[in-house]
Amino acid sequence: MSNIRSIVSFSALLALSQAGSSAAATVTKQCVQLEVPVPVVATNRRYSMPRVESTIDAIDWTVTVTTWSTPSAMDRVTGLYPVNSTFRINAQLCVPPRNGAKSDILQIATPGLGFDKRYWDVELKPEEYSYVDAAVSKGYSILTYDRLGTGKSQKPDAYDVVQIPTEVEILAGLTNLARSGKLISSSKVLGSTHPVPKLQPSKVVQVGHAYGAYLITVALGKYGRLADGAVLTGFLLTNLTRMLDVLNYDHAFARQHDPVRFGEYTSGYFVLETESCLQKLFLRKGAFEPALLAYTERIKQPEAVGEYASEGTSPLTPAAEFEGPVLLFNGENVYDEDATRNVFQHAVNVTSYLQPNTGHALTVATNASAGYEVILQYLDSHGL
C-alpha cells in the first residue's frame, strides 16, 4: 500500500514541479547543507510505557496513552535519564545573494511532529509555499534543521533519548553555534551550490511550528536570551491533555509501514498512517491543493514515543528574560491564548494572528505566501 501511495505522490510531485518550473522567477537563495555535531547535556526521564514494535503495538499505544495525562503524566515517570552526548543534526543554511538590511538577522526554524526541515522549504511551487524563499527574498538568512529522530539527523533511542529536554538543548546548541560564528566551521559541509557563506548574526528570530513552537517556548523559559523575537505557529496550547488526544488519528510502526523509506527507524518510532490522517491533522478542505496533500504524505516523518511522553512533564515556565516580540500565528482558533501570554510576561509585544482558511500546517495551505507576508511584516515592524 505505502509503496503505491508514494509512487502516486511522487508522480504528482514531478508533474507539479515541471509545471511550476516555467512559472515565476524563483528566489536565488544560496544554501549549504550541513551536518552539525551538537553536544547535549540534558536530563530526560524514563517512562513506563508500552513498547512499539509493530503497527498493532502502535495502535495499542495510541489507545493507552490517551488515558496517560489523567491524572498526571508524572505518574508514568520511573526515574531520570541523564543525556551527555553529541548528536548529528542535519541542517540547511540559506542566505540571500547579497547583503542587505537584514543581513545581521538569522531566523532559525523548527518543524513540528510529522515533518522534517522540508516543512519550511516546500519543494512544490516554492515561490508560493517555501517559507525559506519568502524569508530570503526579504533579506534574512535562515537555518532549518531536521529535529532529532527525523530526516537526515541521527535517530537514537525513541524512548529515553528523543525527548523534549534533549531537543531543547539541541535548539540552544545550534543557536549558540550560529551566534558565535562557528556554525559552519564546526560542521561537515555536505553540499553547497554556492560559496559557503559567512555567518555571524547579531540577532536571532526563532520560528516554530506546533511541537517546534513548544520546544522554543520551553527553551525561552530556560534561556531567555536565545532569541530576539519569536514566531510561534500552529501552537496548540489549550491543554496538554488535548495535545495527547491522539485517538483521532492512526499511527503505524514506521519500519513496518514503509521499510524502504523508514528502514533505519527502530523500536518506538511511529508515523501517521494515511493521507486521511494527514488531512485531518494538517489541512482544511478548500484551502489546499490535492498535490500538496500527496506531497505531505511523501515527506512525512516518524515521531518518537519519548516526544509524546515528555510533553506531559515539560511544563511551560515564564520566560523571565525574554524581552522580544512574539507573534502567535495560527491557522485555527484552538489555542489557549492566555496560557501562552502568561509565558511571555516580559515580551515587548505579543500579537496573535488568525490566518483565514488554513488548517494546522500553514506552509502547505493555499494562501501560505500571504501568511508569510504577515509574519515578515510583523518582524520588520519590531526592528527584526
Ligand X SMILES: *[C@@H]1O[C@H](CO)[C@@H](O)[C@H](O)[C@H]1NC(C)=O
Which residues are at the interface with ligand X (CB under 6 A)?
41, 70, 84, 239, 241, 336, 349, 351, 355-357, 367, 370-371, 374, 378, 381
Shorter beta-carbon distance to ligand X: residue 41 or 189: 41
Alpha helix ranges (H) inside 333-381: 337-343, 368-381
Shorter beta-carbon distance to ligand X: residue 41 or 190: 41
In the bound complex, what is the minimum distance in angstroms from residue 380's beta carbon to ligand X? 9
In the bound complex, what is the minimum distance in angstroms from residue 195's beta carbon to ligand X? 35
Shorter beta-carbon distance to ligand X: residue 202 or 241: 241
Closest CA to 363 of 151, 125, 142, 140: 125
Q: What is the CA radius of gyration of the chain?
A: 20
- Helix 211-222 to helix 164-179 angle (10° resolution) is 70
Shorter beta-carbon distance to ligand X: residue 154 or 355: 355
Shorter beta-carbon distance to ligand X: residue 28 or 241: 241
| 32: its cell numbers | 549549504
Shorter beta-carbon distance to ligand X: residue 45 or 300: 45
In the bound complex, what is the minimum distance in angstroms from residue 39's beta carbon to ligand X? 8
Shorter beta-carbon distance to ligand X: residue 14 or 41: 41
Listed in sequence order, the residues at least 6 apart from 270 whose beta carbon sits closer than 8 Å to its beta carbon are 52, 58, 61, 251, 252, 253, 254, 302, 303, 305
In the bound complex, what is the minimum distance in angstroms from residue 358's beta carbon to ligand X? 8
Shorter beta-carbon distance to ligand X: residue 95 or 283: 283
| 213: its cell numbers | 513552537
What b/e string do you get for 248-285 counting C-beta neighbours within 10 Å, with b at 16 or more?
ebbbbbbbbbbeebbeebebbbbbbbbbebbbbbbbbe
How do 269-272 and 251-253 pair as beta strands? antiparallel
> Cα–Cα distance between 11 and 294 in angstroms, integer?
10
In the bound complex, what is the minimum distance in angstroms from residue 240's beta carbon to ligand X? 7
| 200: its cell numbers | 555571524
Q: Contact, 189 vs 30, CB < 8 A? A: no
Shorter beta-carbon distance to ligand X: residue 102 or 298: 102
> Cα–Cα distance between 44 and 79 in angstroms, integer?
9
Phi-psi category of 30—alpha, beta or left, where left has phi over 0 and alpha has psi -120 to 50? beta
In the bound complex, what is the minimum distance in angstroms from residue 229's beta carbon to ligand X? 11
In the bound complex, what is the minimum distance in angstroms from residue 219's beta carbon to ligand X? 19
In the bound complex, what is the minimum distance in angstroms from residue 354's beta carbon to ligand X? 8
Residue of minimal CB distance from ligand X? Answer: 370
Identify the three-state secondary structure at position 60. Answer: helix
Shorter beta-carbon distance to ligand X: residue 21 or 349: 349
In Å, how far are 139, 242, 372, 374 from 355, measured between CA atoms?
Answer: 23, 22, 10, 9
In the bound complex, what is the minimum distance in angstroms from residue 85's beta carbon to ligand X? 8
In the bound complex, what is the minimum distance in angstroms from residue 199's beta carbon to ligand X? 27
Listed in sequence order, the residues at least 6 apart from 48 whose beta carbon sits closer than 8 Å to its beta carbon are 76, 78
Its sign, for the CA torsion 94, 97, 102, 103, is: positive
